[in-house]
């Protein structure tokens, strides 16, 4: 009798302990909230229900998306989650976006917003099924275009980790950050065809203390673009290509833009892209702003068309008046230890604003050869007097 009771207590104890250790009570599984995971029926409602339950819970909570195929329309995973300390989304599934653009309106596909302590991880794939939408993209032709949905949008988040997930064939950008503070992206894989329009890998805007580490990005547009009002951004260990390279800008498009400061791009490999590292500002910027303290260090280029480029005459549409010159001031810019090959002779192209010349541009240990062909490479400088040190291939601008 006593032995049985002890055994019973022990079992009860183990059961409770197991529950605590595995944290079952804090895990919100989308399947338990009705997700079918058959890749056909729209599981958006179940996803939202699981998120809502987690968000209204307390402590460290988890949302689980088990391994399966899911069809999902636009969803907003929003806070505030007042009593939640952290919320981890284990995304182990393969998510396919619905393809009827009428479902989206102004929504992106998956949006996380207004939470603190979000972790998104689990090895899953977000497939935007963009091929069905790319022909509806008019943003390459006109400025006021209907913007298509971004695969993963992060809005007003503090202390976020996004790690070990894949984004595939987004309709527009793959990932977009707006008003994020303290965000780390790591071990990301982002893929879309070279010909797909505006499928930028990661676009960062109005955000502070953002890092992207060891990630592989190949798209039809910028692998990473850093927009206005951004501060303390580190990009490191990124493999980029195909695409348009790693870009700061375009800046100077909108009225309310604030300065950009403290950008480090380092230890990256860029292969067969249109640009390597680029700073671009609109020629007809409506207001003045400044972008400064930007460093590009230890970058390897393989057959890149424009490996190092500053373009302050950016105007992809015909509406810009060529009479104006960019009012974005660029200063304190360091290009260091950049080597590899360029497919065009002008390996270093620095076109600064006529009205506001660039200040303190440094080039140190640059070695860029022409490939194929192996002929000489050269530099073009407008409205800038760079300072040089170490190896210089191409030779400096003779100003």
Ligand X SMILES: *[C@@H]1O[C@H](CO)[C@@H](O)[C@H](O)[C@H]1NC(C)=O
Please report which helix (H) or strand (E) contains residue 5, including its range: helix 2-22
Query: Which range touches ligand X (CB under 6 A), out of 101-109, 246-254, 257-265, 301-309?
Result: 257-265
The answer to whether 277 touches 316, Cβ cutoff 8 Å, is no
Which residues within the stretch 346-365 sit at the binding site for ligand X (CB under 6 A)?
346
Query: Which range touches ligand X (CB under 6 A), out of 110-118, 120-128, 132-140, 248-256?
Result: 110-118
- Indicate the pairing of strand 328-342 with strand 289-304: parallel
Contact between 123 and ligand X by CB under 6 A: the answer reads no
Q: In sequence order, what are the residues at sequence separation of 6 or more whose Cβ sits closer than 8 angstroms to the Cβ of residue 394?
A: 347, 348, 366, 368, 376, 377, 378, 379
∠51-201-76 over CA atoms, to 5°?
A: 20
Q: Which one of 43, 108, 116, 283 is in contact with ligand X (CB under 6 A)? A: 116
Tokens 């200063």, located at residue: 331
Q: Is 41 a catalytic residue?
A: no
> Which one, 68 or 277, has the nearer CB to ligand X?
277
Residue 83 beta carbon to ligand X: minimum distance, rounded to whole angstroms: 13
Query: Which range touches ligand X (CB under 6 A), out of 7-15, 32-40, 112-120, 196-204?
Result: 112-120
Contact between 114 and ligand X by CB under 6 A: the answer reads yes
Give the count of beta carbons closer than 10 Å to the beta carbon of residue 257.
Answer: 22
Residue 282 beta carbon to ligand X: minimum distance, rounded to whole angstroms: 24
Residue 262 beta carbon to ligand X: minimum distance, rounded to whole angstroms: 3
Of residues 45, 46, 49, 104, the one with CA closest to residue 74: 104
The answer to whether 327 touches 295, Cβ cutoff 8 Å, is no
Of residues 111, 110, 20, 30, the one with CA closest to residue 59: 20
Residue 380 beta carbon to ligand X: minimum distance, rounded to whole angstroms: 5
Binding mask 158-177 for ligand X (x = CB under 6 A): x-------------------
| Residues labelled as active-site residues | 244
Which residue ranges make up the site for ligand X (CB under 6 A)? 79, 114-116, 156, 158, 181, 232, 261-262, 264, 293, 345-346, 378, 380
């Amino acid at each position: 009798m006593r032995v049985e009771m002890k055994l019973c207590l022990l079992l009860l104890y183990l059961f409770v302990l197991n529950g605590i250790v595995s944290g079952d009570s804090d895990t919100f599984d989308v399947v338990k909230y009705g997700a079918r995971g058959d890749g056909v029926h729209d599981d958006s409602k179940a996803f939202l229900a699981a998120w809502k339950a987690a968000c209204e819970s307390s402590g460290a909570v988890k949302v689980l998306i088990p391994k399966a195929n899911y069809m999902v329309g636009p969803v907003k995973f929003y806070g505030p989650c007042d009593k939640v300390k952290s919320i981890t989304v284990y995304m182990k599934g393969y998510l396919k976006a619905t393809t009827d653009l009428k479902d989206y309106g102004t929504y992106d596909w998956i949006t996380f917003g207004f939470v603190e302590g979000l972790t998104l991880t689990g090895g899953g794939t977000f497939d935007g099924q963009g091929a069905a939408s790319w022909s509806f993209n008019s943003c390459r032709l006109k400025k006021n275009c209907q913007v298509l949905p971004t695969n993963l949008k992060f809005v007003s988040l503090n202390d976020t980790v996004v790690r070990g997930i894949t984004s595939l064939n987004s309709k527009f950008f793959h990932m977009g950050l707006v008003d994020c503070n303290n965000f780390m992206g790591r071990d990301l894989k982002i893929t879309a065809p070279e010909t797909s329009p505006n499928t930028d890998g990661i676009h960062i805007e109005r955000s502070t203390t953002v890092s992207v580490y060891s990630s592989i990005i190949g798209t039809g547009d910028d692998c990473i673009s850093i927009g206005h009002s951004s501060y303390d951004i580190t990009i490191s260990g990124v493999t980029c290509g195909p695409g348009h390279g790693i870009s700061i800008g375009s800046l100077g498009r909108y009225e309310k833009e604030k300065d950009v400061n403290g950008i480090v791009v380092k230890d990256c490999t860029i292969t067969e892209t249109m640009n390597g590292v680029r700073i671009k500002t609109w020629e007809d910027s409506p207001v003045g702003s400044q972008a400064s303290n930007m460093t590009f260090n230890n970058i390897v280029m393989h057959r890149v068309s424009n490996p190092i480029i500053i373009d302050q005459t950016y105007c992809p549409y015909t509406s810009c008046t060529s009479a104006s010159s960019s009012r974005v001031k660029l200063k304190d810019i360091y290009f260091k230890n950049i080597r590899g090959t360029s497919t065009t002779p002008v390996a270093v192209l620095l076109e600064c604003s006529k009205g506001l010349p660039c200040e303190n541009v440094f080039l140190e240990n640059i070695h860029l050869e022409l490939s194929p062909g192996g002929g000489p490479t050269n530099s073009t400088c407008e409205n800038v007097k760079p300072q040089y040190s170490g190896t210089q291939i191409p030779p400096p601008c003779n100003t």
